[in-house]
Structure 1
Amino acid sequence: MKSSSCPYLAVKITPAIPVVGGILFFFVMGTLLRTSFSDPGVLPRATPDEAADLERQIDIANGTSSGGYRPPPRTKEVIINGQTVKLKYCFTCKIFRPPRASHCSLCDNCVERFDHHCPWVGNCVGKRNYRFFYMFILSLSFLTVFIFALVITHVVLRSQQSGFLNALKDTPASVLEAVVCFFSVWSIVGLSGFHTYLISSNQTTNEDIKGSWSNKRGKENYNPYSYGNIFTNCCVALCGPISPSLIDRRGYVQPDTPQPAAPPNGMAAYGATQSQSDMIPQEERVRE
């Protein structure tokens, strides 16, 4: 008699197996959806007036500096826990990005505490959804290991009854599950371990790839965001309050540049939505 792994093991071992598997599955899907559909920490772009004012301030600052050291254009320096951090100017959003923020080329937005853009969730991973991403990959690791262990147990129990080759022949779905889990468990568990390391040291993937900070406090490029304690770093990343979203979902989208008004000679300007028939004087319409 052929049977799948879950009903067979529920009868042979314990009926709690499908319950645990269902809980893990729904937790994985819940954290996946929460990561995909939540605001990662998008920073609003500057309005045309704000961008023009900021450009004016930059020109004044670079023009009035005299002799000696002249700061590079489009950057600012701030001190965080004794460490000098440069704030870079975003030419797309027209703002000075806050510390740890970066512009995502795929989402075309500046994101607070930018970690990376994850194609599997279809969203950036940043300040507001990092904990949900971490819980997603961690629970997915448990689910993959759980399925892999149950499939192996199923094959072993069936082998004791009818032999190994017959067990493989009778349960082709279990064999396929074992192969898929075997090749995927290493990458998933490895990714969970990597992000566990990042959380314990209070770093982001972006900072780790660039080698921005050193884990040793005595070095010049020490991490100013680390609390010096693994437990504190984990609590801040996973249990701290979630900052409110800066996106105005009910607001109107404003154009990046002001639309020029139509000149008085009746010719439509570039980008104007007024039709040619609307620009005909009233006297000519009556004459026609």
Structure 2
Amino acid sequence: MSAVMITRKVRKWEKLPGKNTFCCDGRVMMARQKGVFYLTLFLIVGTCSLFFAFECPYLAVHLSPAIPVFAALLFLFVIAMLLRTSFSDPGVLPRALPEEATFIEMEIEAANGNVPAGQRPPPRIRNVQINNQIVKLKYCYTCKIFRPPRASHCSICDNCVDRFDHHCPWVGNCVGKRNYRYFYMFTLSLSLLTIYIFTFDIVHVVMRSVDNGFLNTLKETPGTVLEVLVCFFTLWSVVGLTGFHTYLISLNQTTNEDIKGSWSGKNRVQNPYSHKNIFKNCCEVLCGPAFPSVLDRRGLMQEDSPASSTSAAPSSSSSSNPMSQTMKTTAPLIPNEHTPDDAKPSIAASAEKSDSPKEEDPPTPQVPPLASPETEADASLAKDKAQ
């Protein structure tokens, strides 16, 4: 049995390294830890469902029919921004191919020279100039590349992400160059939706308390009480997160850079990416061009897979089974009425082959059989009687 290599075409997302999961034939890209994302989706859908079920019918009749319409539009926008942030490529950088990694290693060794034993090799960095300022590019030992400016390696997804902001478990994905604007629009619209629902929950309770009393109103609308509690504890975190990212956008800065103090450390290095203008910074981050993905997730590639071949099995089985050979060679030499028609030519050919002269084998000497002791005794007794 021999192994045969079969070449088949597969999608590139099936062979991408890292800790991401893909759905819909590579169109959806998320992190493996998606439990908190499902919780986020459940809280948004559940709270809005209670609002449409308990408050909207009363407010549409006694206040304005535009209240549920605007709430529905805001809800759909929040869900769209959440899914766009969670299901998109945040800007993952492809890892170096084996040939590229070998070439980069050779360049680094040539630049650093021979390092004596026991000494730590120098850090692997490259310097580039951006807006008349030197920026260091760090080497990623996992991806085998020098990361572009503002890129960082996410330990959860195990990928280098361009313009890495942070890994957000609430959306189940990294936030980077390609989905940051959608993440910000999600937090901003979610803040507005939370304030909207919380405000009209209070209005609903106040309007019904005028006729039925406050305690009776709470007993009649338990869903409103649950909505108020969820919105109250969610409001501060969501609004605070939106305000923090608004501050970062105005400075054209990322969360990763702010936590590390990249532009506000002891050296007082200025941010080379800031335009020194809040309006320009916001336009670049929120209204800049949409960057395409560099992964080509749905592209095709060839893969060689081993497969076992059983072509030699019949010959080996026939050679290992002498009975089959005997049955094939012991066919009758003279065809008769019982011989199949398809076998007669082969029989005639075998007969002609048997008539051809062959070398006669030398005669084999016949050895008389050994006489047993009982036979010798009988022979001697017969001789005595004859005498």
Whether the TM-score (by the shorter chain) exceeds 0.5 is: yes
State the 1:21 CA deviation: 0.3
Structure 1 residues 101 and 165: alpha-carbon distance in aligned structure 2, compared to 1, 3 A threshold:
same
Unaligned runs of 5+ in 2: 1-52, 116-120, 321-387
Match of 2:64 in 1: 14
Contact 1:116 1:126 in 2 (8 A): yes
Relative contact order: is structure 1 or structure 2 higher (C-alpha 8 Å, sep ≥ 6)? 2
Taking the TM superposition and a 5 Å limit, the aligned residue runs for 1:128-277 are 128-214=178-264, 220-252=268-300, 273=306
Please report how far the alpha carbon of residue 171 of structure 1 lies from its aligned counterpart in structure 2 after TM superposition.
Answer: 1.0
Q: Deviations over 1:57-112 (max 9, x none)?
A: 111111189xxxxx933111112123221111111111000000011111111110
Q: Return the offset for 1:250.
A: 3.2
Structure 1 unaligned runs (5+)? 66-70, 260-271
Distance 2:141 2:228 in 1: 49
Mark the CA change 1:100 to 1:282 in structure 2 (over 3 Å): closer, same or farther: farther
Is 1:58–1:73's contact at 8 Å kept on the other side of the alignment?
Answer: no
Amino acid at match of 2:104: L
Runs of 4+ off more than 6 Å = 280-286
Residue aligning to 1:28: 78
Decide whether the 8 Å contact of 1:77 with 1:85 is kept in 2. Answer: yes
- Number of aligned residue pairs: 264
Aligned partners of 1:62 and 1:73 also within 8 Å: no
For the pair shown, which has the larger CA radius of gyration, 1 or 2? 2
1:198 & 1:72 partners in 2: Cα distance?
A: 33
The code of the aligned residue for 1:89 comes to: Y
Percent of pairs with identical residues: 66
Letter of the 2:297 counterpart = R
CA contact (8 A) 1:114 1:127 kept: yes
Matched, 1:118 2:168: yes
Distance 2:302 2:271 in 1: 38
Counterpart code for 1:166: N
Q: State the TM-score, normalized to the length of structure 2.
A: 0.63
